Copies of this chain bind each other. A is one copy, B any other.
Amino acid sequence: MTDAKIPYSLNSKAVAEATRFWLQKRGVTILEIAELVMLLQKKYYPNLTMEECIHNVEMVLSKREVQNAVLTGIQLDVLAEEGKLFTPLQDMIENDEGLYGVDEILAFSIVNVYGSIGFTNYGYVDKLKPGVLERLNDKTTGQIHTYLDDIVGAVAAAASSRIAHRKQAEREQELGLPHAPEDVEEAARRSVPENEEPE
């Protein structure tokens, strides 16, 4: 894997790209996650667009903490699907054992990226399993998504939290309130040329 002659050096771009690659390979599109976000947020922001939802999912997926959790969780799903884990971990992940909670722990580290206000949204979608989550929970396909279904719900919950923070910033700007520091970061981010945004 690593060539003995090249010393290890973290490549952030490679981590980001692997995250997108593996989500897609496991059958989850950014659009589907954005649809969960819309479901969670449209009641609070009637003018919310799918474009905004997609953008916020992208921003969540650009966070390293999120990438680490996504890659680790999908890796465990894939290995379980191939039957390569040791017993009884294999059995617990393969059967999405209710008393095995490490998948929720990883999901939680994703939700946390935009703070505690996302906890509720995570629990809600994880319980109701709308849209893509229903498909990921179908136990008849032979595929194992014990981690991925929690991860997808967590990304949607984190994106919802991000939207809540941004909408507040927009509201304050419209009211002509002086910039709070977080607005500055947002403003700076918006000034980034489109083609430098994560695609």
Show the binding face of A for B, using Cβ within 8 Å.
1-2, 8-16, 18, 22, 59, 62-65, 68-69, 71-72, 75-76, 78-79, 83-92, 94-95, 97-102, 104-109, 112-113, 115-117, 119-124, 126-128, 164-165, 168-169, 171-172, 175, 177-185, 187-189, 191-192, 196-198
Contacts and interface: CB of A to CB of B under 8 A. Distances in A.
Contact of A75 (B22, B86, B116, B119): B86
Nearest to A44: B98
Contacts of A65: 101, 115-116
Looking at A13, A85, A181, the one whose CB has the most chain B CB atoms below 10 A away is: A181
Stoichiometry, as copies per complex, reads 4
A99 B184 contact: no
A174 to B, nearest CB: 11
Contacts of A126: 119-120, 123-124
Contact of A13 (B8, B104, B165, B179): B179
Q: Top 8 A-B pairs ranked by shortest CB distance?
A: A123-B123, A62-B181, A12-B180, A101-B116, A104-B116, A65-B115, A124-B127, A181-B198
Given A86-B18, A99-B168, A117-B98, A92 B10 contact: yes
A63 B120 CA distance: 20
Given A2-B95, A105-B109, A109-B116, 5 more contacts: A68-B100, A69-B102, A119-B119, A184-B198, A185-B188
A97 B171 CA distance: 14
Contacts of A185: 62, 185, 188-189, 192
Given A68-B100, A86-B75, A12 B63 contact: no
Contact of A12 (B123, B128, B168): B168
Given A8-B94, A84-B84, A92-B68, A16 B120 contact: no
